[in-house]
Structure 1
Amino acid sequence: MSDGVQKSIENDLDAQIAELTAAISRNPRDLKAYRQRGLLKARMRRYDDALNDFNRTLALDPNDAHAYGLRALVWARKGDRDRALVDFDEAIRLAPQNGELYRSHRDRVLAESSRAPIEGGDFSILKNPFVLLGLPPTAAPALVKEAYEDAVEDEVDDVDVLMRAQQTLMTPRLRIEAEVGGFLDVDPRLTSQIVSNIRVGATIDEISEQLGKLHSLPRSNVIAHYGSALPLEMAGLCELIAAQATVTPGAVCDAINDVREEIALGRVDREQVSEALSKLLDRQTKAVIERLGFSDGATDLFDRFVSKITADAYSPTLFRLDVYVRTFAQIIAPELSKRSEAIEAACEAIKKSPKSQSCRAKLDTALQSWISLLRPVQSYEIHRQREDATTREMYIKVRDLALWLANEKKEFESAGKVVEIATGVFGHLPRAAAQMKEEAAQLLDLRNEQLAEEILTPLLQACEAANKSHRAIESELLRAGFGPGSTGSVKALFDKFATAVGSTAKLPFSDAPWRLVREVAISLNNDSSAPRAAENLLQGILDFADHKPPTAEMIKALREDQRVVRKNQVEADLGKSLQAEKWGEAEKLAERLLTLETDEENLKSARQIRETVSAKHKAVVRTRWFWGIAAAGVLIWIVASNDNNRSGTTNYRPSPPSYSATTNSPTTMTRNDAFVPGDTSETMPAVGSGLSLSRSNIRYCSYQGIRLEAARSMITTESQRQGFNTGIDDFNSRCSNYRYRQSDKNAVDAELPGKRYALDAEGRALAATWQSNSLPRPRVNR
Structure 2
Amino acid sequence: MAINSANNISPSRFDSSAQPFRLLGIDPGTTASEIHSALSRAREMHIARETSLAEASAAVLDPVRRLASELSYPLDSAPDRVGLFYTERPVDASDDDVLQTSTQFAPLSAANFIARHAVRRGVSSELLLGLIDAHNSIDVMEIYQTLQALRNRAGWPPPSLASVRDGLDDLLDAHCVAVIEAYDPIEAAAEPLLEATHQILATREPTLIQTHSPLLEAYRHATAKVRINADQQVDSACHALEQQPGDASSVERLAETLHVWTSLYEPLLLLDARQELDDGETNVTPDRVFGLLGDLSSQRHYRTAQQVLEHALVAFGSIPDAAARLAKVGDILREMLQAGSTAVVQNPGLAVPVRSRTVPHVRKAALAVAALLVMLGLLVAYWAFDGGAAFSVASAPNPPDAKAEPEVLPPVGKGQRFAREYVRYCRFQEERLRVVKQQVRGPEDIRAYNALANDYNSRCSDFFYQDEDLRAVKEEVIAKQKLLEADAERILATWPWRINVGKVPAAASR
Q: Distance in 2 between matches of 1:138 and 1:422?
A: 59
Residue 304 (structure 2) aligned to one of 414, 417, 427: 414
Deviation string, structure 1 residues 622-663 (Cα, Å, up to 9, x no partner): xxxxxxxxxxxxxxxxxxxxxxxxxxxxxxxxxxxxxxxxxx
Q: Which residue of 2 aligns with 1:775?
A: 373
SS of 1:173 mapped into structure 2: coil
Deviation string, structure 1 residues 598-641 (Cα, Å, up to 9, x no partner): xxxxxxxxxxxxxxxxxxxxxxxxxxxxxxxxxxxxxxxxxxxx
Q: Which moved more, 1:367-376 or 1:231-240?
A: 231-240
1:140 aligns with 2:51: no
SS of 1:317 mapped into structure 2: helix
1:142 to 1:202, Cα distance in 2 relative to 1, 3 A: farther
| Contact kept? 1:445, 1:718, Cα under 8 Å | no
Q: Distance in 1 between matches of 2:127 and 2:368?
A: 62
| Contact kept? 1:306, 1:379, Cα under 8 Å | yes
Q: Which residue of 1 aligns with 2:108?
A: 217
1:431 to 1:266, Cα distance in 2 relative to 1, 3 A: closer
Q: Distance in 1 between matches of 2:304 and 2:369?
A: 20
1:439 aligns with 2:37: no
Q: Distance in 1 between matches of 2:207 and 2:86?
A: 29
| Contact kept? 1:204, 1:223, Cα under 8 Å | no
| Contact kept? 2:309, 2:330, Cα under 8 Å | yes
How many residues align? The count is: 366
- For 1:719, the aligned partner's letter is K
Q: Which residue of 2 aligns with 1:300?
A: 191
SS of 2:64 mapped into structure 1: helix
1:131 aligns with 2:22: yes
1:318 to 1:158, Cα distance in 2 relative to 1, 3 A: same
- For 1:775, the aligned partner's letter is L
Q: CA deviation at 1:253?
A: 1.8
**Structure having greater relative contact order (Cα 8 Å, sep ≥ 6):** 2
Q: CA deviation at 1:242?
A: 1.6
Residue 383 (structure 1) aligned to one of 260, 274, 284: 274
Q: Which residue of 1 aligns with 2:424?
A: none
Q: Which residue of 2 aligns with 1:405?
A: 296
Deviation string, structure 1 residues 411-470 (Cα, Å, up to 9, x no partner): 4443333333322322343333342233334445556538854379xxxx9xxxxxxxxx
* Aligned pairs for 1:33-182 within 5 A: 123-182=14-73
SS of 1:265 mapped into structure 2: coil
Q: CA deviation at 1:280?
A: 1.3
Q: Distance in 2 between matches of 1:369 and 1:211?
A: 35
Q: Distance in 1 between matches of 2:98 and 2:115?
A: 14
Q: Distance in 1 between matches of 2:246 and 2:180?
A: 42
Deviation string, structure 1 residues 23-61 (Cα, Å, up to 9, x no partner): xxxxxxxxxxxxxxxxxxxxxxxxxxxxxxxxxxxxxxx
Q: CA deviation at 1:184?
A: 1.3
Q: Distance in 2 between matches of 1:315 and 1:203?
A: 30
SS of 1:311 mapped into structure 2: helix
Deviation string, structure 1 residues 551-576 (Cα, Å, up to 9, x no partner): xxxxxxxxxxxxxxxxxxxxxxxxxx
1:323 aligns with 2:221: no
Q: Distance in 1 between matches of 2:211 and 2:311?
A: 35
SS of 1:775 mapped into structure 2: helix
- For 1:285, the aligned partner's letter is C
* Aligned pairs for 1:265-664 within 5 A: 265-292=156-183, 298-314=189-205, 316-407=207-298, 409-446=299-336, 449=340, 452-454=343-345
1:145 to 1:429, Cα distance in 2 relative to 1, 3 A: same
Q: Distance in 2 between matches of 1:305 and 1:207?
A: 17
Q: Distance in 2 between matches of 1:437 and 1:129?
A: 58
TM-score normalised by length of structure 1: 0.43
1:260 to 1:239, Cα distance in 2 relative to 1, 3 A: same
SS of 1:137 mapped into structure 2: coil
1:342 to 1:243, Cα distance in 2 relative to 1, 3 A: same
Q: Distance in 2 between matches of 1:336 and 1:128?
A: 35
| Contact kept? 2:300, 2:346, Cα under 8 Å | no
1:357 to 1:267, Cα distance in 2 relative to 1, 3 A: same
* Aligned pairs for 1:200-239 within 5 A: 205-206=96-97, 211-239=102-130
| Contact kept? 1:717, 1:771, Cα under 8 Å | no
- For 1:288, the aligned partner's letter is V
SS of 1:183 mapped into structure 2: coil
Q: Distance in 2 between matches of 1:204 and 1:398?
A: 40
Q: Which residue of 2 aligns with 1:755?
A: none
- For 2:220, the aligned partner's letter is A
- Structure 1: 5+ residue stretches without partners: 1-119, 462-511, 517-709, 721-767
Q: CA deviation at 1:339?
A: 1.1
| Contact kept? 1:307, 1:380, Cα under 8 Å | no
- For 2:121, the aligned partner's letter is L
- For 1:423, the aligned partner's letter is L
Q: CA deviation at 1:236?
A: 2.1
Q: CA deviation at 1:387?
A: 4.9
| Contact kept? 1:377, 1:388, Cα under 8 Å | no
Q: Distance in 1 between matches of 2:91 and 2:293?
A: 59
1:425 to 1:202, Cα distance in 2 relative to 1, 3 A: closer
1:383 to 1:266, Cα distance in 2 relative to 1, 3 A: same
- Structure 2: 5+ residue stretches without partners: 1-10, 382-450, 455-510
| Contact kept? 1:336, 1:370, Cα under 8 Å | yes
SS of 2:88 mapped into structure 1: helix
SS of 1:172 mapped into structure 2: coil
Residue 245 (structure 1) aligned to one of 107, 123, 136: 136
Identity of aligned residues (%): 20
Q: Distance in 2 between matches of 1:170 and 1:327?
A: 31
| Contact kept? 1:136, 1:188, Cα under 8 Å | no
1:454 to 1:132, Cα distance in 2 relative to 1, 3 A: same
Deviation string, structure 1 residues 222-253 (Cα, Å, up to 9, x no partner): 11111112333233222221221122322212
Q: Which residue of 2 aligns with 1:677?
A: none
